[in-house]
Amino acid sequence: MKIIFTFCRQLTATIPMSSFSQPLPPRLEQIVQRFQQIPEQRRRYEYLLSFAKRLPSFPEEQKVPEHKVPGCVSQVYVTARLQEGRVIFQGDSDSQLTKGLVGLLIEGLNGLTPAEILQLRPDFIQRTGLEISLTPSRVNGFYNIFRTIQKKALAYYLQEPADSKVRTEGLEPTHLAVLEPKSSASANSATSAANLV
Protein backbone atom coordinates (compact mmCIF):
# COMPACT_ATOMS: atom_id res chain seq x y z
CA MET A 1 0.00 0.00 0.00
CA LYS A 2 1.25 3.48 -0.84
CA ILE A 3 0.37 7.02 0.09
CA ILE A 4 -0.01 9.86 -2.35
CA PHE A 5 1.43 13.06 -0.92
CA THR A 6 -0.50 16.00 -2.36
CA PHE A 7 1.48 19.19 -2.05
CA CYS A 8 -0.17 22.57 -1.76
CA ARG A 9 0.94 23.42 -5.28
CA GLN A 10 -0.57 20.19 -6.64
CA LEU A 11 2.75 18.38 -6.78
CA THR A 12 2.46 14.68 -6.04
CA ALA A 13 4.92 11.94 -5.20
CA THR A 14 4.53 8.36 -4.04
CA ILE A 15 6.53 7.07 -1.07
CA PRO A 16 6.28 4.01 1.19
CA MET A 17 3.68 4.35 3.95
CA SER A 18 6.15 3.45 6.69
CA SER A 19 8.15 6.65 6.18
CA PHE A 20 5.32 9.00 7.17
CA SER A 21 3.81 9.63 10.59
CA GLN A 22 1.42 12.14 12.12
CA PRO A 23 0.17 12.61 15.71
CA LEU A 24 -3.45 11.62 16.17
CA PRO A 25 -6.16 14.21 16.83
CA PRO A 26 -6.96 14.47 20.58
CA ARG A 27 -10.29 12.62 20.48
CA LEU A 28 -8.90 9.77 18.36
CA GLU A 29 -5.86 9.54 20.62
CA GLN A 30 -8.17 9.22 23.65
CA ILE A 31 -10.03 6.37 21.97
CA VAL A 32 -6.80 4.56 21.11
CA GLN A 33 -5.48 4.95 24.65
CA ARG A 34 -8.74 3.60 26.07
CA PHE A 35 -8.39 0.46 23.96
CA GLN A 36 -4.81 0.09 25.18
CA GLN A 37 -6.09 0.03 28.76
CA ILE A 38 -8.35 -2.97 28.02
CA PRO A 39 -6.36 -6.23 28.10
CA GLU A 40 -9.23 -8.68 27.61
CA GLN A 41 -10.48 -9.33 24.08
CA ARG A 42 -14.10 -9.62 25.23
CA ARG A 43 -14.02 -6.19 26.83
CA ARG A 44 -12.40 -4.69 23.72
CA TYR A 45 -15.33 -6.03 21.71
CA GLU A 46 -17.75 -4.50 24.22
CA TYR A 47 -16.03 -1.14 23.95
CA LEU A 48 -16.08 -1.37 20.15
CA LEU A 49 -19.81 -2.19 20.21
CA SER A 50 -20.43 0.88 22.36
CA PHE A 51 -19.48 3.04 19.37
CA ALA A 52 -22.14 1.28 17.32
CA LYS A 53 -24.77 2.02 19.96
CA ARG A 54 -23.86 5.72 20.03
CA LEU A 55 -24.14 6.25 16.28
CA PRO A 56 -27.11 8.45 15.34
CA SER A 57 -29.83 6.88 13.25
CA PHE A 58 -28.84 6.72 9.58
CA PRO A 59 -31.54 7.80 7.08
CA GLU A 60 -32.74 4.93 4.90
CA GLU A 61 -32.84 7.22 1.86
CA GLN A 62 -29.07 7.71 2.22
CA LYS A 63 -28.38 4.00 1.77
CA VAL A 64 -27.59 4.36 -1.90
CA PRO A 65 -24.65 3.09 -3.98
CA GLU A 66 -22.73 6.39 -3.95
CA HIS A 67 -22.58 6.26 -0.14
CA LYS A 68 -21.67 2.60 0.11
CA VAL A 69 -18.17 1.66 1.26
CA PRO A 70 -16.59 -0.67 -1.33
CA GLY A 71 -14.74 -3.85 -0.42
CA CYS A 72 -16.63 -4.66 2.78
CA VAL A 73 -18.32 -7.99 3.48
CA SER A 74 -21.02 -6.11 5.41
CA GLN A 75 -23.22 -3.36 4.03
CA VAL A 76 -21.52 -0.11 5.10
CA TYR A 77 -22.56 3.46 4.31
CA VAL A 78 -20.79 6.74 5.04
CA THR A 79 -21.86 10.28 4.18
CA ALA A 80 -20.06 13.57 4.75
CA ARG A 81 -20.95 17.25 4.85
CA LEU A 82 -18.89 20.35 5.39
CA GLN A 83 -19.94 22.64 8.24
CA GLU A 84 -17.97 25.82 8.84
CA GLY A 85 -14.88 24.30 7.28
CA ARG A 86 -15.06 21.04 9.23
CA VAL A 87 -16.22 17.64 8.06
CA ILE A 88 -19.18 15.93 9.72
CA PHE A 89 -19.61 12.24 8.97
CA GLN A 90 -22.56 9.92 9.39
CA GLY A 91 -22.50 6.16 8.91
CA ASP A 92 -24.14 2.80 9.39
CA SER A 93 -23.64 -0.94 8.83
CA ASP A 94 -25.77 -4.05 9.05
CA SER A 95 -23.04 -5.70 11.17
CA GLN A 96 -22.69 -4.49 14.74
CA LEU A 97 -18.91 -4.99 14.88
CA THR A 98 -18.44 -3.15 11.59
CA LYS A 99 -20.86 -0.49 12.77
CA GLY A 100 -18.61 -0.13 15.81
CA LEU A 101 -15.63 0.48 13.54
CA VAL A 102 -17.64 3.12 11.66
CA GLY A 103 -18.63 4.74 14.96
CA LEU A 104 -15.03 4.69 16.22
CA LEU A 105 -13.81 6.53 13.14
CA ILE A 106 -16.68 8.99 13.14
CA GLU A 107 -16.20 9.86 16.83
CA GLY A 108 -12.48 10.21 16.31
CA LEU A 109 -12.60 12.26 13.11
CA ASN A 110 -15.81 14.29 13.21
CA GLY A 111 -15.22 18.02 13.34
CA LEU A 112 -11.73 17.95 11.84
CA THR A 113 -10.79 19.98 8.79
CA PRO A 114 -10.32 18.14 5.48
CA ALA A 115 -6.54 18.72 5.68
CA GLU A 116 -6.36 17.27 9.20
CA ILE A 117 -8.16 14.12 8.06
CA LEU A 118 -5.94 13.76 5.01
CA GLN A 119 -2.78 13.83 7.12
CA LEU A 120 -3.78 10.72 9.08
CA ARG A 121 -2.63 7.15 8.57
CA PRO A 122 -4.87 4.19 9.46
CA ASP A 123 -2.18 2.20 11.23
CA PHE A 124 -3.35 3.48 14.64
CA ILE A 125 -5.63 0.43 14.53
CA GLN A 126 -2.55 -1.59 15.47
CA ARG A 127 -2.24 0.33 18.74
CA THR A 128 -5.81 -0.57 19.73
CA GLY A 129 -5.23 -4.33 19.60
CA LEU A 130 -8.26 -4.70 17.34
CA GLU A 131 -6.16 -5.82 14.39
CA ILE A 132 -5.38 -8.97 16.40
CA SER A 133 -8.87 -9.42 17.84
CA LEU A 134 -10.87 -8.96 14.63
CA THR A 135 -11.05 -11.30 11.65
CA PRO A 136 -8.97 -10.35 8.58
CA SER A 137 -12.14 -9.44 6.65
CA ARG A 138 -13.21 -6.98 9.35
CA VAL A 139 -9.73 -5.46 9.58
CA ASN A 140 -9.83 -5.04 5.80
CA GLY A 141 -13.25 -3.44 6.22
CA PHE A 142 -11.76 -0.94 8.67
CA TYR A 143 -9.14 0.12 6.13
CA ASN A 144 -11.81 0.45 3.43
CA ILE A 145 -13.96 2.63 5.70
CA PHE A 146 -10.96 4.80 6.55
CA ARG A 147 -10.06 5.11 2.87
CA THR A 148 -13.62 6.16 2.02
CA ILE A 149 -13.59 8.79 4.78
CA GLN A 150 -10.34 10.23 3.44
CA LYS A 151 -11.71 10.30 -0.11
CA LYS A 152 -14.68 12.32 1.07
CA ALA A 153 -12.38 14.70 2.94
CA LEU A 154 -10.22 14.99 -0.17
CA ALA A 155 -13.23 16.09 -2.22
CA TYR A 156 -13.82 19.00 0.18
CA TYR A 157 -10.12 19.82 0.36
CA LEU A 158 -9.90 20.13 -3.41
CA GLN A 159 -12.81 22.57 -3.37
CA GLU A 160 -10.95 24.98 -1.08
CA PRO A 161 -9.25 28.07 -2.56
CA ALA A 162 -5.53 27.47 -3.11
CA ASP A 163 -4.46 30.13 -0.60
CA SER A 164 -6.60 28.61 2.18
CA LYS A 165 -4.79 25.27 1.92
CA VAL A 166 -1.80 26.70 3.77
CA ARG A 167 -3.85 27.77 6.79
CA THR A 168 -4.84 24.64 8.66
CA GLU A 169 -4.82 25.84 12.26
CA GLY A 170 -1.45 24.76 13.54
CA LEU A 171 -0.77 21.88 11.17
CA GLU A 172 1.86 21.84 8.44
CA PRO A 173 -0.14 20.99 5.30
CA THR A 174 2.89 20.78 3.02
CA HIS A 175 2.04 17.12 2.66
CA LEU A 176 -1.39 15.56 2.80
CA ALA A 177 -1.59 11.81 3.03
CA VAL A 178 -4.29 10.18 0.95
CA LEU A 179 -4.56 6.44 0.54
CA GLU A 180 -4.18 5.47 -3.07
CA PRO A 181 -7.15 3.41 -4.32
CA LYS A 182 -6.13 0.02 -5.67
CA SER A 183 -8.55 0.20 -8.58
CA SER A 184 -8.15 3.76 -9.86
CA ALA A 185 -5.19 5.97 -10.63
CA SER A 186 -7.31 9.12 -10.80
CA ALA A 187 -8.42 9.39 -7.18
CA ASN A 188 -6.41 12.55 -6.68
CA SER A 189 -8.30 14.49 -9.34
CA ALA A 190 -10.89 16.99 -8.25
CA THR A 191 -13.57 15.59 -10.52
CA SER A 192 -13.35 11.95 -9.43
CA ALA A 193 -12.98 12.87 -5.77
CA ALA A 194 -16.00 15.15 -5.77
CA ASN A 195 -18.16 12.33 -7.07
CA LEU A 196 -17.36 10.28 -3.97
CA VAL A 197 -19.12 12.56 -1.48
Query: Residue 100 CB: number of other CB atoms within 10 A?
Result: 26
The Cβ-side half-sphere exposure at 2, using a 13 Å CA radius, reads: 13
Indicate the helix (H) or strand (E) that contains 193: helix 190-194
Q: Provide the H-helix boundaries in 18-176.
A: 26-36, 41-54, 96-109, 114-118, 125-128, 130-133, 136-159
**Could you say which of 4, 32, 72, 193 is catalytic?**
72
What is the four-CA torsion angle of 90, 114, 187, 172, rounded to 10 degrees?
-150
Measured between alpha carbons, how far is 151 from 112 in angstroms, rounded to an integer? 14
Distance between the two ends of the chain, CA-based, in angstroms? 23
**Catalytic residue status for 72:** yes
Classify residue 86 by its DSSP letter: E
Among candidates 112, 123, 121, which has minimal Cα distance to 157?
112
List the catalytic residues.
72
